[in-house]
Each structure stands twice: as structure tokens, then as C-alpha cells.
Structure 1
């Protein structure tokens, strides 16, 4: 039998009893011994589903009818849920989403790190909608439709979803999709703008237009009108991130967010990494500092420090703080933030934390406590290389429970720490992304 015949997708609807939920938020069932992952299905439900793909080891489907519903099921607030790929869990109550993410975290600790936290922290919660202050939106001029689409990708597709609004984005962006589409359609290079990055700050909302060809003078005039009408800050990006510049060069106002509890203002560029959920970020900062317990006699190391989101608040509490970051632009911005906030007990240095040079001074230096907030790849290399002999406590903020669990195994089983506390933070409601925090104390 040919491979094409073997992988032919069955037509029609099929019944299934959902046994559990995958880490990706899909219902799991088995038919004739084969695993099937079913979108829009929750544990304990009986559903009718259609197949969307068949593979050698597993199949995939989408629930079309819910025969018996889980009590945690709700009606999604967004009309595009299931079509747009921006969200995946809107059909679950918020507390059920958090419980699922907590389970994912604990399972990963056990299976990948062979560790278990002594205390599971209560979930850190925030707003469920209009929470997202950063986003990268796809842009596509569709010839057959003779229109521009702006938004996230369709679920299970590279096509741009045709949506008019987004409820998880801040309204300054989420309510302006139609206006943005109209702007792009009016430009002479409407088919040469592949993406828009949005950044909402306390000082205004920025849109960064990535363009593959130069704008005409008429285009620039239209962009200026749009910026004024909608009270936005437009930026142009003809190449890499280092080419980003303001449309209106006379506007020198910078983007920033305030951390009032620490009397700190964090300035950033629209393409700089900042946390997408401002309210949860503030709560996360408070929790991390509470767990780390810095004091005026301690020297702190902040790894993957970015623009100083954790570093500068820590400096208010500690004797000194060293911030290490692999991105040259972020290091430069962090130094500016220290100066603007009149904080002089902090230093920032650039280092590739994935490929460490043993000559880096911070590798050999002794610190009392460490905070780290790596990207999804985790911090295996730097954890293995660091001198942790005199480190009393480590607070690890993570956006990937798998790499956190792996690194926890190194800290506990090789470096002599105890995993004392861990929990999830609802940085990304309605998605399967798991933001978490863990505390490691010296044995």
C-alpha cells in the first residue's frame, strides 16, 4: 500500500472519549491503540471529531460536537477562537487553565528533572483579556481577495487569519485591525510589508512596520496622517532591528513602563524584549524579590537581564547587582535605565550565556544570590559553568517548563541545591505557554 494511501485522512465524524489533556492543550484519546490529539476537547468529554491529519505514531483531529461537556468548559469570548492561532484555551475556565499549567510544570519536574518542589506556590493571576502589550502581527496582501490581512496565523496553517479585532491584545492595537488594514491597503508598497510589531507602553503605543521596499513621499504623508489620527507612534524598519527608526524624527519621547513600588521607570525600544503582560510582570517582580530576599549586605547576579526589569528593582534592595545579557542593544538600554533612575550600585555586561567564555569574570566571581530569567532554551550552560559554591539562593523565572525542569535537575542533583518552592504565573492567558518561578536553596 502506498504511503499516500496509508495516510489518507478519513472523512466524516467519529466519536471519542477524552482521557486527558496534552501539554499543548489538546484532548487525548485512543482508537484501536493509536493516540489521537483532538483540539477543542477537554478531559472526561465525549465528542464527535473530524480527522485533520494522520501520522505513523499519532493522529490529529478537531472536536466538532460536544456530546458530554466537562464542567470547566465555557463559551469562548472571541468569535475567532478555533480559527485564529493566537489562543488555544479560551474554551476552558481560567482556574482550569492554571490548574492544567501547574500540572504540566510538576510533571516536567518529575519526568525531566527527577525533582519535586517542597512547596507548590499558588498561581499568580492577572487580567484574562486586553492583557497583551507586545505582539508580532503578520501582514499579507491576498491577491484573490484584493485586500490586506493583518493578524495572527490561522490555526494549523501559515495563512494569516482574517480577523477584525483581538480581545487579548491591548485595545490600542486589538481594536484597530480594520484601520491598520485600511492604511496598508492605501500604500503603494502594500504587498511589501510582511509584519508589524506592536508595543504598548505607559507613554504611548508603537507600531513598527517592516518594509522590504522604500515608501514613497505619498506613503509617508499617509503614515503621518494615520499616526496623528490614531494617536500612535509609527516606526519604520527597512532591515534588521538596528534599522528601526521613528517616522516622526522630531518626536523624542521614549517608550517606558513604570514600576511604582520601586520608584523606577524602564525605558525601552519597541523591538526590545519586554514582558507582554504588564500587570503580571509587576506581580512577578514583587514575588521574585520576596522569594530571593535580597538585603544590603548581599551581592546579586541577574542573568539574562534584558533592559533591567529585575536588575534595577533588585538594586534598590541589595548591596550591588551585576546584570548579564547576550544582546548588545539590551545591555546599552539597561545602562541607560540605571543612569536615568539614578541607580549606581548596578553594572551591566554583555556575554553569550549559551556559549560561555571561561574568562568572563562573573563566572569566577562569588555571589550571595542569583536571579535568572532565560529564554525558552533555558540556562544549562551557564548553570554548569557558574561558581555557585557560596550562593545561598537562586530564583529561576522560566517561560519553558521543560528546560526549567532539566536545569532544576542539574541544580539539585549536581550542584547541591534544594528545590524548595515552585509555581506558575498567568503571563499568557488562553494559551498553553507556561510561565513559572522556582526557588533553589543551598542544602
Structure 2
């Protein structure tokens, strides 16, 4: 008989209490300690604190726990503004002062530059900071139902798909921040149970709430929605798989926002920068970093609906915007027309292909801006280094992939000239940066 090796099972001791001292924060904003040689990741704990924590997960190589009592408090600790902070998964850092949040995020970027690109001396510029609260332009609010068809409206709990029932959210614009109870009362009076799957809020020149309908509504429910809409200062929309209906009896149209003297339109499904105030500061700084001149031809990769392209086009000879999603290319083209710009060219291309020669990737380009998604721009960077342009501006929403891609630029004779943290998502662990690379 053959004997197979069976690894020794880890004894599960969830919910046991431990007392530890916190040494640092991990990339998720959780406190880090050790029991013997095993790391312990503790949510709600800060460096320098001694805490009692309840174990929620125990593996062979680590433990996860949640702080339930603070014996020794960090100077960085503040009282969370939101009553739901310790249950809701929307925010990570409300218990940390604003200055400490910025320092933590800069340290995370510095660690990744050292690890991924072997760079330790970083040319930090002043961070871009805007409103700490009520800043979200878009947000999706979850709706769940129990076996009795009772409604829960809120955001997911930390590490779970279960919703935390929310009464208010300080990250939403003031017009929407306290609307949860009104939404709850409305849906509780529906006769069509489970008809609404989620609620989306959009803060634009025309603020709107969109109810996502997944089952037929009765005449009673539609009457409730119409009555609800007449009492609000925002537009109420009902979205199905096939159409969007404006319950305020107006014709549904595109949303819009102003950026550096330009107006950009977008639909409910289009990607837009979440923090409207920070977005303006970001575009202005990008224009400054690139030292734009009237004779420049600028390549804007991952251009989206033209958030950078349209403002830049008013200052240069030509902008070539490239985007992988055709619908966003179409939106950028219509935004150029809306702003009466004829020096913009928008193209669809898969910028993640390993190697390709695009017609627009030519020697006429003077400067490059790229603003990729979290996956970064590894293959796009490998293509653009062959242009030998003097300035490349990299806007990043994930420092891990940005520092990975930066190594390619370093290997091709570029140096990091400026680096700025952008606090696009205050109170959360998410980090956005702007990095200017100059060819030596």
C-alpha cells in the first residue's frame, strides 16, 4: 500500500482573542504584527498601537484578525466620521489622520519603487489633495433581500458579499449622502419584491439616481417611483436591459462636467474620474508637467472619453487619443466636436498586445501621456520607448504596475523627474500617482 504525504492540518481557532503590538501597515491598510514567526494582519489597527484583536482567519502562514480594543493608541488615530466604518468595506483609513494617510500612501509607493525598479531616491512633489469628504462623482449602492423579502441597502462588508445596512455615507455628495433611508422606505413599499438590484448615483451638472430594474414592476410600484421623483432635486431614472426611463418625464440624455474650460459628456456606463475636484487639479498638473507647446503633437494612451485629450488639444498642434473600447473612442470624438476641436484624432486599438506597429506610433509624436487601468501598461510602454520622445507622463491608479512599467523606461534611458501622489480616493487605501519621465 502506497503512503501519501498528508500536510498537518492547521488548527482553526477563529474568534480567539490575541494581544499584539502593531509594527507597520500592509498594502491594504491593515496593521501588521507577529506571533512567533507568523505574520498577523489586523484591520482597524495602526503602527505603534497595542491592541486586543479577534482572529477571523487562521492559515498555516498567516492570521487575520480585527482590532476590538486599543490599549495603547497611536498619535495617528482619529475618530472615524462614519458610524458604519468598522463594518462597511467602502473605506479603509477613516481611523487615520489625513496627514498620516498621505504619508502611508507615499511610503507604499516608495516601497514598490525600491522593490520593482530598484529606485530609492524619489523626486517627490507636493501631493494633490482636495476635499476629504463628499467627493464621489459616481457610486453604486447595493440592494439585497432576505427570505422575508426585507430590504438591505448599503455597501459590502469588509471581505464579504453581504451588505452593511447604511444610513448615510460621507463620501457621497451632500445631495445623496443621507438618501439611504428614503431609498429603503420606497423599496419596502414595493409590491414587486426583488425588482431592484442596485442603485447608482451620479453627481454631474444634472445629478441623477438610477434604479436598476431586474424584474417587472407593478403599476403601484411605478406610481410610488413617480411620486418619489417629484419630491427630489435630482433626476430619477429607471434602467432595464433595454432602456433608461426618466421618471421626471424628461428625455434621458448624457451627463456632463466641466474641465479646464472644456465640457465633457458621458453616459451612466462610461468611466469617469470619481473625484471631480481632484480631477481638475490632476489635469492642470499634467498640462504643467508636460510643458506643452503650440507645435506639439501629443499621444494620449488609454484616453477614455477625452479627460486629458480635450483640454490639451486647446494648447497644442495635435492630440492623438488611443483607447481600447470603441464606445469610449466614439464618446471622445463627440466631445471633441462638442468643444469645436478639429485637431484631435481618436482611434481604437488594443494597447495590451505584446508587440505591434501601429500607424499612429511614429516619429511625429513629441510627448506621451498614458493613463491605464490597474493592470498597467507593460506592453504599451515597450512600444512607446521606441519613439524616443523627451517626456512621458504616466498617470497610475496602481503603484505596483506603474513601478513595474517604470523599470522598462529606466532601461531605455529615462529617469524619473517628478513624482506626485494624488489623493483621488481619500479615506481608502487606493493610491494614484503622476510620474514624469525625462529621457537622459
* Structure 1 counterpart SS, 2:410: helix
Tell me the equivalent position of 2:292. 294
* Structure 2 counterpart SS, 1:6: coil
CA–CA separation in structure 1 for the residues paired with 2:357 and 2:239: 36
| Aligned residues of 2:390 and 2:438 also touching (Cα < 8 A) | yes
Aligned-pair CA distance for 1:236: 3.3
Aligned-pair CA distance for 1:55: 1.0
**Are 2:80 and 1:76 aligned?**
yes
| Aligned residues of 1:116 and 1:419 also touching (Cα < 8 A) | no
Tell me the equivalent position of 1:247. 246
Matches within 5 A, 1:212-251: 212-239=214-241, 243-248=242-247, 250-251=250-251
* Structure 1 counterpart SS, 2:228: helix
| Aligned residues of 1:197 and 1:208 also touching (Cα < 8 A) | yes
| Aligned residues of 1:366 and 1:391 also touching (Cα < 8 A) | no
Gap change, CA 1:204 and 1:3, over 3 Å in 2: farther
CA–CA separation in structure 2 for the residues paired with 1:244 and 1:45: 53
CA–CA separation in structure 2 for the residues paired with 1:383 and 1:366: 17
Gap change, CA 1:14 and 1:367, over 3 Å in 2: same
* Structure 2 counterpart SS, 1:405: helix
| Aligned residues of 1:117 and 1:421 also touching (Cα < 8 A) | no
| Residue 212 (structure 2) aligned to one of 197, 210, 213 | 210
Aligned-pair CA distance for 1:352: 2.0
Matches within 5 A, 1:274-313: 274-313=272-311
Aligned-pair CA distance for 1:416: 2.0
CA–CA separation in structure 2 for the residues paired with 1:206 and 1:356: 41
Aligned-pair CA distance for 1:118: 4.5
Tell me the equivalent position of 2:3. none
CA–CA separation in structure 2 for the residues paired with 1:20 and 1:379: 30
| Aligned residues of 2:363 and 2:387 also touching (Cα < 8 A) | no
* Structure 2 counterpart SS, 1:421: strand
Deviation per CA, 1:192-215: give whole Å up to 9, x if none.
3222222110x2222232222233
Aligned-pair CA distance for 1:23: 1.1
Corresponding residue pairs, total = 435
| Residue 416 (structure 2) aligned to one of 397, 415, 419 | 419
Tell me the equivalent position of 1:186. 189
Tell me the equivalent position of 2:92. 88
Q: Which runs of 5+ in 2 are unaligned?
A: 1-5
| Residue 97 (structure 1) aligned to one of 97, 101, 118 | 101
CA–CA separation in structure 2 for the residues paired with 1:137 and 1:114: 41
Tell me the equivalent position of 2:132. 128
CA–CA separation in structure 2 for the residues paired with 1:381 and 1:96: 35
**Are 2:435 and 1:442 aligned?**
no
Cα RMSD after superposing both structures: 2.1
Tell me the equivalent position of 1:256. 256
Higher RCO (CA 8 Å, separation ≥ 6 residues): 1
| Residue 164 (structure 1) aligned to one of 164, 167, 172 | 167
Deviation per CA, 1:397-416: give whole Å up to 9, x if none.
11100000001111112x22
CA–CA separation in structure 1 for the residues paired with 2:54 and 2:421: 33
Aligned-pair CA distance for 1:110: 1.2
Tell me the equivalent position of 2:406. 408
Tell me the equivalent position of 1:385. 383
Gap change, CA 1:438 and 1:206, over 3 Å in 2: same
| Aligned residues of 1:214 and 1:238 also touching (Cα < 8 A) | no
Q: Which runs of 5+ in 1 are unaligned?
A: none
| Aligned residues of 1:254 and 1:268 also touching (Cα < 8 A) | yes
**Are 2:343 and 1:341 aligned?**
no
**Are 2:410 and 1:430 aligned?**
no
| Aligned residues of 1:117 and 1:420 also touching (Cα < 8 A) | no
Gap change, CA 1:188 and 1:388, over 3 Å in 2: farther
